[in-house]
Amino acid sequence: MNHPPMPRSRRDAFRLAGLSAAGLALAACGVQGQKAAPPKADAVKDFWSKQTKHGSVVFANWPEYMPEDKGPLEKFKQATGISYEYKEVIQENADFFGKADPVLRAGQPLGYDIVVMTNGIQLQHMIELGYVTPLDHSKLPNFAANAGQKYKVRAYDPDNKYTVPYMSGVTGIAYNTKYVDEEITSIASLFDPKYKGRVGMMADAQEVGNFAMFALGIDPEKSTEADWKKAGEKLKAQRDAGIVRKYYDQNYIDAVSKGDVWLTMAWSGDIFQRQLAGEPVAFVVPDEGGTIWTDNMLIPKGAANPVDALMLMDFLYQPAVAAELDEYVQYVSPVPAVQDLLREKAKTATGDDRKSLEDMVDSPLMFPSDADYARLRSYTQLTTQQEQVFNPIFQSVTQA
């Protein structure tokens, strides 16, 4: 068992609530509350001391997020003798949470030992609902030694109690250089009437909220309810002036590369791909600030092989392994040493390989500079009560 033993009756209550689970309860029983008390240090230690290595691990990840030959996982298998199952079962944070919630609420295992989720509302729900197993950092030496400082201090999971980063990316501004003939440096451009109908904003409340706050000079990590309201007003004015063409999810990227929108909020990794494809898109972290987000590895409650999971997490922090992974994924690796390793590799490579490796090493989209990092902020940290205020402010703008 991976969670503290529960009294029998309570587990039955959970099972009953299972019918309700994704929010559908039978009249009499209602949905059980799940708010988790922070785990006591002793309990965590106690839990891990009882776990043993089982020789297998199940890794749930997004498609196209691991080299096709599964190189890093194969090396893990050779090094530790632990066999792996790798499943590309995560398509969307919201959809994945929607599916995981009723299962975990009913006290049943998800069937995965490692899950990758982006920091944001759903990950926070996972942690707050007690669906995530606290990590044992004594078994994560490579993480301690090799992870960048920025990836050890994250507002959404201080001290990496529950998660360690898998890959990161930056939300900034992308613009189509065919249509925009100035250099964009400021978020103010997103609010500039001369780009009326040509601006893309993101539909996600946290993403769009952050940018409005940057524009107002507010640090989202330290923002208050009054700040959110101001930000909401700013976005509403922008929308009502007809500046925004659309509030996008992933498909902003096609829109900007084809010129349907000229400038838009954008994720760094996407734009890097388009640049490699020779499309006329530029990416910038605005002067006022940009958002750094991270896809995180976590061990869900009830996982069958927590020790093996922990070992794999740590293995991915060996610089050589991290470099192999990042060469394929082309996002921001939490291991800074990757840049040097890829630079070394570029020297020995030839032809197209060399060119693409050099592009990667030089790209601020894979290796942001210190100046970039200084301007990057996480999403606003929200409690349950705050969320019920925060979300409607921005959803009433994006979902009118």
Distance of CA 259 to the CA centre of its chain: 27
Count of all residues that appear for the chain in the document: 400
With contacts defined by CB under 8 A, name the span among 154-162, 182-190, 269-277, 372-380 that binds other proteins: 269-277
Q: Which stretch binds other proteins (CB under 8 A): 252-260, 303-311, 333-341, 373-381?
A: 252-260
* Phi and psi torsions of 303, nearest 5°: -60, 140
Nearest Cα neighbor of 151 from 379, 367, 335, 375 is 335
What is the C-alpha separation between 358 and 18, in angstroms, rounded? 52
Q: How far is the CB of 138 from other proteins (least distance, A)?
A: 30
Q: From the list 6, 24, 188, 374, which residue makes contact with other proteins (rule: CB under 8 A)?
A: 24
> Considering the rule CB under 8 A, would residue 30 count as an interface residue with other proteins?
yes
The stretch near other proteins (CB under 8 A) out of 4-12, 105-113, 296-304, 372-380 is 105-113
Nearer to other proteins, 185 or 383 (CB): 383
Q: Structure tokens of 266? A: 């954008």
CA distance 58 to 81: 14
Residues in region 54-93 near other proteins by CB under 8 A: 60, 62-65, 68, 87-92
Restricted to residues 123-142, the positions that interact with other proteins (CB under 8 A) are 125, 128-129
Distance (Å, whole) CA 220 – CA 333: 24
Contact 325, 159 (CB under 8 A): no
| Coil, strand or helix at 227 | helix
Number of residues counted as binding other proteins (CB under 8 A): 83
34 binds other proteins (CB under 8 A): yes
The region of 144-152, 180-188, 211-219, 385-393 touching other proteins under the rule CB under 8 A is 385-393
Distance of alpha carbon 391 from alpha carbon 379, whole angstroms: 13
Q: Which is nearer to other proteins, 138 or 396 (CB)?
A: 396
Cβ distance to other proteins smaller for residue 99 or 152: 99
Residue 281's SS3 state is: strand
Q: Using the rule CB under 8 A, is 288 a contact of other proteins?
A: no
